[in-house]
Amino acid sequence: MRQKFLIIILVPAVVLGVVKGPGMWKTYNCTVYKLGSAHPNAFKDLSISSAKIKAEVADNEISRQVGLGGRPCIGSAQAMLFVFDKPGYYAFWMKDTRFPLDMVWLDKEKRVVFVKSNVLSGTYPTSFVNKQAAQYVIELNAGEATKLGIQDGLPVTF
């Protein structure tokens, strides 16, 4: 009888996350964290329309290749800013990315030149590339580009 009681109580508790064993679950608060940038202060504050967004900077080969891959999510009002040495055509994919994104390419004057909205994680290995030369790319949670009114020609400050 005691075994049945424990099973009846513990199984739902474990399923609902009430009882946690060591390392059984990880809790993610979806904050952006430093990921291999060469700079000690790897964040920039972006202003898009009237919104303020905290962006992690990916400005070297390794951090640009990894991007947001492997993370469970990013928070609202957060992004990743990819910085390139010169304007060009930069292809992006969703390798190891677990959540949909909006991708926004900016020219050297930091004006939007291309937006790819709601890119799903299942699209890998398909690549998405800008149609005009760009020097920066911002990745945001899917739906944010529309919510912020991001469109070609919009200036972004950072």
Cis status of the peptide bond prior to 125, with omega within 30 of 0? yes
Helical segments of the chain, H only:
2-16, 61-66, 144-147
Q: Which of 26, 149, 144 is nearest to 78 (CA)?
A: 144
Along the 158 residues of the chain, how does pLDDT read in single tens digits? Answer: 544 433 333 333 333 333 333 332 233 466 544 444 444 448 999 999 999 999 999 999 999 999 999 999 998 899 999 999 999 999 999 999 999 999 999 999 999 999 999 999 999 999 999 999 999 999 999 999 999 999 999 999 99
β-pair type (134-141, 101-106): antiparallel
CATH topology (fold) of 23-157: Jelly Rolls (2.60.120)
Q: Which of 82, 86, 87 is nearest to 63 (CA)?
A: 82
